[in-house]
Amino acid sequence: MNSTSQLDLHPDADSLNAFAEQALAVPEREQILAHLAGCSRCRQVIFLAQQAAARRGSGNPAHNSNPRAWFGTGVLPGFRLRLWRRRWRWWSPFIHGARRKCRNWRRPCRSVSEAVPTPAPQEQASAGAAHKPAQALAAKSLAGNAEFAARRRTPEELVQQSAPSAAPPAEPGASAPFSWGEPVRFCRLRLSPPQQETTAQFQPEPAVAAWQQEQQQATGATRPAPTPRAGFTKEHESGSIHRPRQPPGCLGGAAHGAAVPVHARQQLRNRHATAIRRIGSFSQSESAQAAQRPGGCFQGNRPASHAGN
């Protein structure tokens, strides 16, 4: 049988269907492929059957025996939408609860200070002598709160306290800057014994004291302390917020709210306005002089001898 007469023989429907469904062994598949390469009739048959199968998948699936196909082909979109709504209704309490948990997790110091009541100094002293980890942790947080409460006093109070102080000054950088959104693992607590915190007088840092003196000399009067943000009054009073310490003249803390004092901002605004005013007057005078010149053009700050050239 030559190849020409081979065109008159075709694989049966079972073989073609098995080929389309990938159910043939390799030798049979090679035979079918070799025949399909030269037989346009069988190629047409197999492509037509394939198209019919594809349309059956996208046609009316009410007769489809697989219920999952109803949802996959969009048979019952309304029902699917209702199903999703029901599922959302079931899961919404858990999702809201998880969101609240996340929100609390992002405020570690606040939650710790609210959970642990402020003890008496005697209790803090006894807690400092204790060796239990939980008590030590609570004592450390309380020590940090007390330190912050002492730090956010007004400069007058700080000056008054620094004068009769006999205790050693606090180490700069002992309380690390802490922003509002940082997780708890970045919250460095003070490691000194809480008994020393409660009994020792607060000593301001040398950089802070020098900056306050400069401010007093510059302004000639003592300015009020920076006003805390309206929403954080309660936390400030309880001392649970660790505000970052900013060096004098540092504007990098402006993004954190009240890091730059109000008077410093006002001073910067005044300088800026003065500079703009001077530039404006200078340019007006220059332009008026240039208008009086014969050329009528602006010559800049060049000497009069060069202006005529």
**Contacts with another protein in 212-241 (CB under 8 A)?**
none
Q: What's the rounded Cα separation, in Å, for the pair 156 and 274? A: 31
For the bound state, the minimum distance from the C-beta of residue 77 to another protein, rounded and expressed in Å, comes to: 21
Asked if 24 is part of the footprint of another protein (rule: CB under 8 A), the reply reads yes
Q: Which of 63, 89, 131, 306 binds another protein (CB under 8 A)?
A: 63
For the bound state, the minimum distance from the C-beta of residue 78 to another protein, rounded and expressed in Å, comes to: 24
State both tokens at 194. Answer: 């809480």
For the bound state, the minimum distance from the C-beta of residue 114 to another protein, rounded and expressed in Å, comes to: 58
Ordered alpha helix ranges (H), 106-205: 108-115, 121-129, 133-151, 155-162, 194-199
Q: Which of 8, 181, 185, 306 binds another protein (CB under 8 A)?
A: 8
Asked if 86 is part of the footprint of another protein (rule: CB under 8 A), the reply reads no
Contact 239, 197 (CB under 8 A): no
Number of residues that bind another protein (CB under 8 A): 54
Distance, CA of 254 to chain centre: 17
Q: What's the rounded Cα separation, in Å, for the pair 39 and 31? A: 12
Going from the C-alpha of 88 to that of each of 76, 83, 297, the distances in angstroms are 18, 9, 73
Nearer residue to another protein within complex by CB, 62 or 255: 62
Of 262, 265, 245, the residue nearest 253 (C-alpha): 245
Provide the CB-side half-sphere exposure for 89 (13 A, CA): 6
Nearer residue to another protein within complex by CB, 25 or 163: 25
Stretch that binds another protein, among 33-41, 68-76, 278-286, 291-299 (CB under 8 A): 33-41
Asked if 27 is part of the footprint of another protein (rule: CB under 8 A), the reply reads yes
What are the φ and ψ backbone dihedral angles of 180, each rounded to 5 degrees? -70, -35
Asked if 22 is part of the footprint of another protein (rule: CB under 8 A), the reply reads yes
Asked if 66 is part of the footprint of another protein (rule: CB under 8 A), the reply reads no
Asked if 143 is part of the footprint of another protein (rule: CB under 8 A), the reply reads no
Q: What is the DSSP letter of 260?
A: S
Residues of the shown chain interacting with another protein in the complex, contacts defined by CB under 8 A: 1-4, 6-25, 27-28, 30-31, 33-41, 43-53, 55-56, 59-60, 63, 65
